[in-house]
Structure 1
Amino acid sequence: MTHKVFRIMMAGAVALTSLLAPLLPAQAAPARIKDIVEIEGIRDNQLVGYGLVVGLNGTGDSLNNSPFTRQSLQAMLERMGVNTRGENLRTANVAAVMVTANLPAFSTQGSRIDVTVSALGDAGSLQGGTLLVTPLLGADGEVYAIAQGSVLINGFEYSGDAATVISGVPTTGRIASGALIEREINFSLGAQDSLRLSLRNPDLTTSRRIALAINDLIGVPVAIPTDPATVRLTLPAHFNGNIVDLLTDIEQLVVQTDQSARIVIDENSGIIVIGREVRVSTVAIAHSNLTVTIAENPQVVQPEPFSFGETAIEPNTQIDVITNETQLAVVPESITLQQLVDGLNALGISPRDLIAILQAIKTSGALQAEIEVI
């Protein structure tokens, strides 16, 4: 990287930053309290169940390969008064499935929720199938809902003698409003005199700002930040109402959120997410691209006429190595990481090369941020 190219890169980065400056706030974006916290006791609960899907067009489990499907089918038929013990069942229209659902907070008995159905055996597709009555259990082993209905899938599978076409995942489907809630989870929010607000993105500054905003509204210290992820809320003695009224009053309050400087990298997909608070100290950067090209061009060698030789194939491998050398470029301390990335992008640096550069800057101690690799 010559000094001339680097000056062009920096000028382009500064110009782009100047164009984006009117669009970027001076501080982190404000947010309502209801959008950045979870309230203790208000959460979903996971349900799971095991059942059978029937009515498949020959795409179900192979009973010889899926003994659990055979046992479940025999048990279901026995409950219906049909004895199949000792018989050779050969149907391919049945599939064993796992049924999952989320039970929302404060769900009432008799209301319905969506369920997801996933094949457990070697079924090829659940298209056109119907889920039979399936109890859905919570973590305590109690039945909270009953699922049944026609399975809708987004994928499909068609096969012939020599080819198969599959789109999406035909072994997973969904039943809208497919489960009926039979048991409620007892939790009286209005009877609470204190609870905790859990921050979705824990941060000490944001936690303190939430507490200050609540105390300014109520007029007494009812909110105390106990840690970066928790604000304890206590119902004041003079408050005219219950904890629900208090939550209704404070959830619309707007606070200025804060976050630590962080870079998130997904090396598998090459995705890089950079926080706005990330800064770079003075550092010199040089990057060299190495391209290796390997080409196989085998040659066929024929024997001479009237000879007893045989036709042979001789390997012919060509290897080309191209190295693009660049000079050191000094990055001043005043530059932000956004300007650095814009400049590197202007030179055609790939995301994977950029990941290596960022990790090297972090190792040198010049990157004032945390790198999280997922």
Structure 2
Amino acid sequence: MPTNSFVHDTLGQRVVLEAGGAAKNLAAEVSRLGADRIMLIASDAEADLADRVAAGLPVALRWTEVIQHVPVELAERAREAAASAAVDLLVPVGGGSTTGLAKAIALSARVPIVAVPTTYAGSEATAVWGLTEGRHKTTGVHPSVLPVTVVYDSTLTLSLPVGLSVASGFNALAHCVDSMWASGSDPINRTLALEGIRVLAAGLPKVVADPSGIEGRDECLYGAYLSAVAFASAGSGLHHKICHVLGGTYNLPHAETHAVVLPHVLALNAPAVPEIGLRIGRALGGDEPVAALERLRASVGAPRALKDAGFDEADIRDAAARILPVVPPSNPGPVDRRVLEALLRAAWAGETPVGAA
């Protein structure tokens, strides 16, 4: 697409990033929005952290039941509780599942969200919602679920184990890579995505080398935000279609699934768009994109195999059949059922992606 011919949507959102400033900045946002009945959403593991961040604020309801992929039944219970408590602001403190639950509530209640992320999931910067019913995950886009403010504080990620930090960071990288060739990709979100790749590729090794350091975690939060903003504009590409099916149907862990699948999708698509592949490779610190990503994956010990995430080899054919109908028509690489089965089998076994040598 020529650079002088495109349509780009920019989402309106306030972003505050300050190490150690979460409590202060959250209080300022609550005051600015005039909220006086907050629903504080955090899993049991994050409940103490959430209480510290929200200390002194008018919390009317604390909610600790958080499940990945947001089951419809959970969303309905949380919506009813929010309505009964007459909450006027949702404050999720946690990762993508926590923010996802807040979005599910906002989708029907039209209550604003101030998100306080503790991972690099990126959900806080998109208007995308997702709900799982049975073994089917449905996603959509609605302006009501976009948090009005994101409060970033890298000190809140210090309790995130290194392995999960890496997997979450690769989830953010997947947002960037999908943004390079999704149906809504344009020069603006490609620029954001490439900078996100560069920052994440620099930050993740620092987190691994010094888990208690702030510099790497600051970079990863910044990179995760860039990746999500790019993704919010470009839309979902093949990678996310695959991972939504794997997560929603087989209940695989979100970040780990993204980390494993990403190199295989990159290996499929990059040869079809060599100029974009070269730009991705250079942002990763190399030239050939799959090899550069593989070096990063090895250096930080990122997850390699879907079998380690709980995916059964016997489900490969079923998964390919479920993915095929949702493959984006704009995907640059050729995709049929045989291609999907080969990709899933390689990801299941933890094989080195084609092109990584």
- TM-score, normalized by length of structure 1? 0.22
TM-score (normalizing by structure 2):
0.23
Q: Which of the pair is proportionally richer in helix?
A: 2
The structure richer in strand per residue is: 1
